[in-house]
Structure 1
Amino acid sequence: MDDEPAENISGGDAAAGRFTEFEPGDGTSRAEAVVDRLGDMYWQKAYGGRDAFECLVRTILSQNTSDKASQPAHDALMDRYDPGDPADRPASDDDRDGAGSRGDGDLAEALAAAHQDELAETISSAGLYNQKSETLIRIAGRVCDEYGGEDAFDEFVRTGDPDEVRDALLDMKGVGPKTADCVLLFAGGRDGVFPVDTHVHRISRRLGLAAPDADHEGVREALEADVPGEKCGFGHTAMIQFGREYCSAREPACLDGPEACPLYDLCDKVGVDELAEEVVDPAEAAD
C-alpha cells in the first residue's frame, strides 16, 4: 500500500485519522467495489481528529488552486497567526514582528483581528489571496461572535447534528459543499460524508457511478447512497490520488489500453473514445 502524500490537502499526515482495514463489499454496489479497489491500491483510513477551524481555514485556502500552492500558504498563515500554546508565546505580541493582533491562544480571534492586506500577503501563494483573506477574516469573526472562538466551534463540529453542522457551514459566505464536507470528514470524523472535488466529480461520472450530467451535489448524493459510510472518507482521498495518477481530465490511462488502468473493468468510460483517442466531459457525451 502506498503512503498517503502529505501534500494532499484533503488527506495526508496533517488530516489525522488512523490507518485501518475495512471488509470488502458484497458486490451489490459497483461504487463500493471501486472504493475497495482504490483502498487496496492506496490506503484505508478512518478520518477525524483535526481541529475544525484550522481544517476550515485550510480547505478555504485550497479552493481553486493546487495543493502545491495552498500548502505553503497554510504553513505561512499558521506561522504568522496561530498563537499556539499560550505558554510557548512571547511575553508581548510586539515581540513577534508583523504578527498583528492575536487572541489568547485562539486562531479564530487572531484571524478576526488580522489586517487584510497583511493576511493577503501571507497567503499569496494560494492564489485569489485578496478574496480568500477577506473570507477568512469574515468567517473568523463569525466563529468568534457565534461560538465564542475556535474551541467551541470545534466542539460543535465534532458533536453537533451533522445536518445542522453542514447547514451552519454552508451559511457562511465563502463555504461551499466540498469545503463543508471536508470539515465534517476530517475534523468531525463523520461517516457517510464523501466530499466531491473536481477529481471525484470527473471520475465518478466517467466510471458511471453517477449520471453523466450530475453536478457536484448529484455526485455526492450518488456516492453517499452507494458507498458504506465508513468507507466514504478514504474513498474520497484515494479517488483524488487515482485522478492524479491514472484518470486525468484529458489523458486517462485507459487510452493506453486495458492493462494501463487498474479500474478498467469497473468503468463505463463515459466520454472516452478509446479508438479515436478522444476525451470529452461525460456531460457532453450524454448530449
Structure 2
Amino acid sequence: MTDKEPAENISGGTAGGGQSATFDPETAGTRAETVVDRLGEMYWTKTYGGRDAYECLVRTILSQNTSDKASQPAHDDLMARYGGGEDANSEGDIDSTDLARALADADQPELAETISSAGLYNQKSERIIALAQRICEEYGGEAGFDAFVRDSDPEAVRSTLLDMNGVGPKTADCVLLFAGGRGGVFPVDTHVHRIARRMGLAPADADHETVRAYLERDVPAAKCGFGHTAIIQFGREYCSARKPACLDDPDACPLAGHCDQIGVYPAADDVVDPSETA
C-alpha cells in the first residue's frame, strides 16, 4: 500500500481541485470538529482501511518508542526477509505470502538483527513472534486475522488486541483504523495527547484514554481517522513539544484562534506539559 500523496488535495480546501468540500469549519458542531475541519483545509486526506492487519500490528510495534525515520527501515527490512515476494526470494530468505506464519517460525536473534534500526529490537522481536504464533493458533494465519479485524464488532476487536502482549490502546486503535477502516476511531499518540490538551480539547491532566474519549465524542466518526493523521502532521510542523510556532509569533500558527495555549507562555518564552497547569 503506497503512502504517496495524491496529485490533488481532496480535503476540500482551496487547493481542492474543484472537489466538493468535505471539511467546513463554519458548520462544525464542536470546537474539536472545527479544528479537524480547519486541518482538512490544510492537509491531504488519506484512505483508511485495507492494510493487512498483522503487518499493521507489526509496523505499529516497530514504531513504539522510536521515530518513523528509525522504524521505517526496520519495517522494510522485515518485509523483505519475511514477507515473501521477489525481493525475499532473490535473497534466498523465507518465501511466504503469509507474514504471520513466516514470523511465527522466525529465529528470534535473526529477526532482532533484521529490525535493529527500530531500537528495543530484542523485546520487539520476541513480541512479534509471540503475536504471530497466537494469530496462527487462533485465526489460522494472516487472512483469518484480517477477517476478524475487519468484520467483527469493533469493541470485541479492540478488547482482543489489548489482551495481546505489547499491544496498548494506540496500537489497537491504529490496527482498527488502518487495517479495519473503522470509523469513529481516533488513535492517540504523543502528538495528539499533547495538542488536544494544549488546545483545550480535553482536560489538561487527561491521560491518553481520556483524550481519546473526548475526541471520539466531539469529532464525527467519519473524520476521526483524518483527525489523527492531521494532528500528527500539525504537531510536527507547528505544535512541537518544546517549540510551538506561537511561542515566538502568535500569528505563525494557523490554529491560533482555536487554541487555549495551555502550558504555553510566550511572554516568558516557556513551555510546560499541560498537566503541570492542572
Structure with the bigger RCO (C-alpha within 8 Å, sep 6+) is: 1
1:267 to 2:268 alignment = no
Matched position secondary structure for 1:211:
coil
Candidates 255, 258, 277, aligned match of 2:250: 258
**In structure 1, how many angstroms separate the alpha carbons of the residues matched to 2:268 and 2:126?**
47
| Equivalences, count | 264
Candidates 158, 161, 168, aligned match of 1:166: 158
In angstroms, what is the RMSD of aligned CA positions?
A: 1.9
Amino acid at match of 1:55: C
1:47 to 2:48 alignment = yes
Q: State the 1:43 CA deviation.
A: 1.7
1:246 to 2:238 alignment = yes
1:278 is matched with 270
**In structure 2, how many angstroms separate the alpha carbons of the residues matched to 1:271 and 1:258?**
15
Matched position secondary structure for 2:268:
coil
Structure 1 residues 206, 89: CA separation in 2 closer, same or farther (over 3 Å shift)? closer
Matched position secondary structure for 1:260:
coil
**In structure 2, how many angstroms separate the alpha carbons of the residues matched to 1:128 and 1:189?**
29
2:65 is matched with 64
Q: Is the CA contact (8 Å cut-off) linking 1:19 and 1:46 kept in structure 2?
A: no
Q: Is the CA contact (8 Å cut-off) linking 2:197 and 2:203 kept in structure 1?
A: yes
Extract structure 1 runs of 4+ deviating beyond 6 A: none
1:202 to 2:194 alignment = yes
1:155 to 2:156 alignment = no
**In structure 2, how many angstroms separate the alpha carbons of the residues matched to 1:239 and 1:195?**
11
**In structure 2, how many angstroms separate the alpha carbons of the residues matched to 1:68 and 1:24?**
33
1:24 to 2:24 alignment = yes
**In structure 1, how many angstroms separate the alpha carbons of the residues matched to 2:177 and 2:36?**
16
1:9 is matched with none
**In structure 2, how many angstroms separate the alpha carbons of the residues matched to 1:166 and 1:89?**
32
**In structure 2, how many angstroms separate the alpha carbons of the residues matched to 1:213 and 1:39?**
27
Q: State the 1:257 CA deviation.
A: 2.1
Structure 1 residues 261, 56: CA separation in 2 closer, same or farther (over 3 Å shift)? same
Q: Which runs of 5+ in 1 are unaligned?
A: 1-5, 7-11
**In structure 1, how many angstroms separate the alpha carbons of the residues matched to 2:55 and 2:11?**
24
Structure 1 residues 160, 212: CA separation in 2 closer, same or farther (over 3 Å shift)? same
Matched position secondary structure for 1:258:
coil
**In structure 2, how many angstroms separate the alpha carbons of the residues matched to 1:256 and 1:194?**
30
Q: State the 1:191 CA deviation.
A: 0.4
**In structure 1, how many angstroms separate the alpha carbons of the residues matched to 2:208 and 2:79?**
30
Give the alignment's TM-score, normalised by structure 2. 0.90
Q: State the 1:264 CA deviation.
A: 0.4
Q: State the 1:259 CA deviation.
A: 1.1
Structure 1 residues 139, 56: CA separation in 2 closer, same or farther (over 3 Å shift)? same
2:18 is matched with none
**In structure 2, how many angstroms separate the alpha carbons of the residues matched to 1:259 and 1:71?**
34
1:114-138 deviation digits (Å, cap 9, x = unpaired)? 0000000000000000000000000
Q: State the 1:256 CA deviation.
A: 1.8
Amino acid at match of 2:141: G
Q: Is the CA contact (8 Å cut-off) linking 1:182 and 1:195 kept in structure 2?
A: yes
Q: Which runs of 5+ in 2 are unaligned?
A: 13-21
2:16 is matched with none
Q: Is the CA contact (8 Å cut-off) linking 1:191 and 1:232 kept in structure 2?
A: yes
Q: Is the CA contact (8 Å cut-off) linking 1:19 and 1:45 kept in structure 2?
A: no
Q: Is the CA contact (8 Å cut-off) linking 2:11 and 2:40 kept in structure 1?
A: no
1:212-241 deviation digits (Å, cap 9, x = unpaired)? 000000000000000000101111001001
